[in-house]
Amino acid sequence: MPDHSPQDRLTGTLLDHRYRIQRRLATGGTASVYVGLDERLDRHVALKIIHPHFADDPKFVERAQREAKAAARLHHPNVVAVLDQGQTSDGVVYLVLEYVDGPTLRHVIARESPMTARRTLDLLIPVLRGLAQAHRSGMVHRDIKPENVLLTTGGDVKVADFGLMRAVDEHTSTSTILGTVAYAAPELVGHEPVDQRCDVYAVGIMTYEMLTGSRPYTAPHCRWRTRTSAGTSPRRVALPPVFRTAWTSSCCAVPPATRTLDPPTPQPSWIWPSPFIGRCRP
Ligand SMILES: Nc1ncnc2c1ncn2[C@@H]1O[C@H](COP(=O)(O)OP(=O)(O)O)[C@@H](O)[C@H]1O
Ligand SMILES: [Mg+2]
């Protein structure tokens, strides 16, 4: 949630003798995000400061730190880099991330959707590149949503927040409390086995939203679960042919078994003809 309050007690302070907290950008379910200055390297960073009620739980902190270490191993131009993490002597738990200076995909969707296929693919291809790299190294994001796709003012696209959500899920025993339900695959909510297909599902929902300005499923999330075995299919709207069959019915399929396993490898031929056919499972 964007944060318009002018100040808070952390603004202006020096975190761990190194990071000057400059301005609060947003407050999310687990953390507040600030733009800060790394005074050692003299560069801007994003500082994610975990809410005290999470930071007070040693198990949560241990898990979050483990996940941040895993995320820090991921190096890709389309993934927001994890630069550092720590806990101050007075118990503030923080993550230092590459600072991305532009809007989120949420803002772009609000401004531009319904988008053309060309524009959609320009935004989507970098997301898929970043995700494919993560999936290759065995990571699953589990919280892909437009708020976690960040743009630089130069137009680069980066996926944020690999890692932390898993610690949150274990901590709260449900992913629905903190995640955004619209993009959460049914198996995430249902405590069923989860693999990279939950990210594919979320990308499918985002793509549909970029192209149409709406989401394919209108029923509240908890209600689809009861409809899963009946093979719920996305609401039909006029999509560009490139996306129609393969993208929406394979990526957004409710039962994971009918969903494609890997984000398709980006190809220059994506605009036309349909690139996904043949890549997706029947
Ligand atoms: N690395 C970053 N650089 C710039 N802004 C960021 C960064 N990470 C997060 N943000 C901003 O902070 C907001 C909240 O982030 P976060 O706490 O991850 O919550 P959520 O992902 O649920 O929106 C994001 O939507 C984005 O606007
Ligand atoms: Mg986020």
Q: Which residues of the chain have pLDDT under 70?
A: 1-7, 163-180, 217-254, 258, 260-282
What values do phi and psi take at 277, rounded to 5?
A: -65, 130
pLDDT for the residue 223: 38
Question: Does residue 8 carry a catalytic annotation?
Answer: no
**What distance in Å separates the CA atoms of residue 67 and residue 89, rounded to the nearest whole number?**
21
What values do phi and psi take at 240, rounded to 5?
A: -55, 145
* Minimum CA distance residue for ligand 1 atom 5: 100
Strand partners, 84: 96
| CATH architecture, range 8-98 | 2-Layer Sandwich (3.30)
Q: Quick one: 158 exposed, middle or buried, by C-beta within 10 A (0-12, 13-18, 19+)?
A: buried
Q: Buried b / exposed e across 204-231, counting CB within 10 Å, b at 16+?
A: bbbbbbbbbeeebbeeebeebbeeeeee
Residue 80, C-beta contacts closer than 8 angstroms, at least 6 positions apart? 46, 97, 98, 100, 150, 158, 159, 160, 161
Domain positions in the chain are 8-98, 105-258
- Number of helices followed by number of strands (H, E) in the chain: 9, 8
Cα 56 to ligand 1 centre (Å):
22
**What distance in Å separates the CA atoms of residue 127 and residue 114, rounded to the nearest whole number?**
18
Q: Is the CB of 46 within 6 Å of ligand 1?
A: yes
* Rg, Å, the chain Cα set: 19
Q: Is the CB of 161 within 6 Å of ligand 1?
A: yes
**What distance in Å separates the CA atoms of residue 27 and residue 50, rounded to the nearest whole number?**
10
Q: Buried b / exposed e across 263-272, counting CB within 10 Å, b at 16+?
A: bbebeeebee
**What distance in Å separates the CA atoms of residue 79 and residue 94, rounded to the nearest whole number?**
19
pLDDT for the residue 3: 56
Tokens of 89: 């002597």
Chain-centre distance of CA 152, in angstroms? 16
**What distance in Å separates the CA atoms of residue 28 and residue 26, rounded to the nearest whole number?**
6
CATH ID of 105-258, from 3.30.1390.20, 1.10.10.10, 1.10.510.10, 3.20.20.140: 1.10.510.10
pLDDT for the residue 175: 40
Cα 245 to ligand 1 centre (Å):
32
Strand partners, 43: 38
Q: Is the CB of 102 within 6 Å of ligand 1?
A: no
- Answer yes or no: are the C-beta atoms of 63 and 170 closer than 8 Å: yes
DSSP structure string for 154-180:
TS-EEE--TTHHHHHHHHHS-STTTS-
Q: Is the CB of 201 within 6 Å of ligand 1?
A: no
